Amino acid sequence: MTAPSQTPAPAPAPGDYAPVRTAILALLAQPEYDDGSAGPVLVRLAWHSAGTYDATTNTGGSNGAGMRYEAEGGDPANAGLSHAHVFLEPVKVAHPWLTYADLWTLAGCPGRTDYIDEAQLPPRGRLPDGAQGATHVRHVFARMGFSDREAVALCGAHSLGRCHASRFGFEGKWVHNPTRFGNQYFRLLARVEWVPKKLESGVQQFVHVDKEVGEELMMLPSDMALVADESFKEWVLFYADFAKAFARLMELGLKRGEDGRVLDESDQKEGYASAPKKPDGPGVPGVANEEAEPLREENEKFRARL
């Protein structure tokens, strides 16, 4: 009997982004790292790749992958991003045709190229400083061509990840669940009390202790600038209201008693009568269902893409 031939897996085709996407999704779960996900630091990498852009001179930005060079990669503002580079490097190894500029921006819309030398690198100092206030934040985002409203929306990315004292002196996370993107950052920024706290590193940040959960959350001075400045604050409240409006949406048509329980005339017994479990299969047992089969096929196709 002959041994089965060991055919190597075909090399990924240049320009095929589907396996790149799959590879990036596969590396997101990092149980040993931070809060268990590489996602936040990858988002920060994408942001810092692009955040050097200057609209007046059309310099900087994500094209070129300037962080490959010490002049940009070694900018103290990029401290900690080496973790993101390490997470993504195997994807580059498996797909050498992919530019770093597209890889680092997790490019949904690829086409960026990598610089071939340092000539086009932006000067250091364009990325924002968390210790600064509203004037600085507005200046940085306006330089990129963003309005106050857009600046506030972008800072909502602080729903993800955390600060590491070893990098800038700041420590902690902005929200309770820092691996799930949502608008908790705006809600907390707008609605709870933040008090200044000087850390051992010498920097000052703002903290809020959630007594229910017993957890301390943080804000950077630059985050607090978004509620100290009236124009920024208008947009923080706007985004924070999504949560309020969504909570209202979930309550439409319900009446609650003083204890918070739903009052319902059809509710004869203790609490809601819970319906019997639905059958495991689609449709009604024993009855042909026009929709079930095509839906099942669709779902199978969808699962195969994951």
Give the footprint of ligand HEM on this chain (CB under 6 A): 40-41, 43-44, 47, 80, 128-130, 137, 154-155, 157-158, 160-164, 167-168, 170, 220, 222
Minimum CB–partner distance for residue 302 and ligand HEM (Å): 28
Residue nearest to ligand HEM (CB): 161
Q: Name the residue nearer to ligand HEM (CB basis): 48 or 208.
A: 48
Annotated catalytic residue within 95, 174, 208, 235: 174
Minimum CB–partner distance for residue 225 and ligand HEM (Å): 8
Minimum CB–partner distance for residue 261 and ligand HEM (Å): 39
Q: Name the residue nearer to ligand HEM (CB basis): 73 or 283.
A: 73
Q: Do residues 243 and 183 touch, judged by C-beta distance below 8 A?
A: yes
Instruction: Give the C-alpha separation, 62 to 68, whole Å.
Output: 12
Q: Do residues 223 and 232 touch, judged by C-beta distance below 8 A?
A: no
Instruction: Give the C-alpha separation, 304 to 265, whole Å.
Output: 46
Annotated catalytic residue within 48, 85, 158, 208: 48
Reply yes or no on whether 48 is catalytic: yes
Minimum CB–partner distance for residue 204 and ligand HEM (Å): 13
Q: Name the residue nearer to ligand HEM (CB basis): 160 or 175.
A: 160
Instruction: Give the C-alpha separation, 87 to 18, whole Å.
Output: 18
Q: Name the residue nearer to ligand HEM (CB basis): 44 or 187.
A: 44
CB neighbours (10 Å) of residue 45? 25
Minimum CB–partner distance for residue 305 and ligand HEM (Å): 26
Strands 262-263 and 255-256: antiparallel
Instruction: Give the C-alpha separation, 191 to 193, whole Å.
Output: 7
Q: Do residues 45 and 89 touch, judged by C-beta distance below 8 A?
A: no
Q: Name the residue nearer to ligand HEM (CB basis): 99 or 105.
A: 105
Alpha helices in 148-306 (DSSP H): 148-155, 165-168, 184-191, 221-228, 230-251, 292-305
**Residues with a known catalytic role:** 48, 174
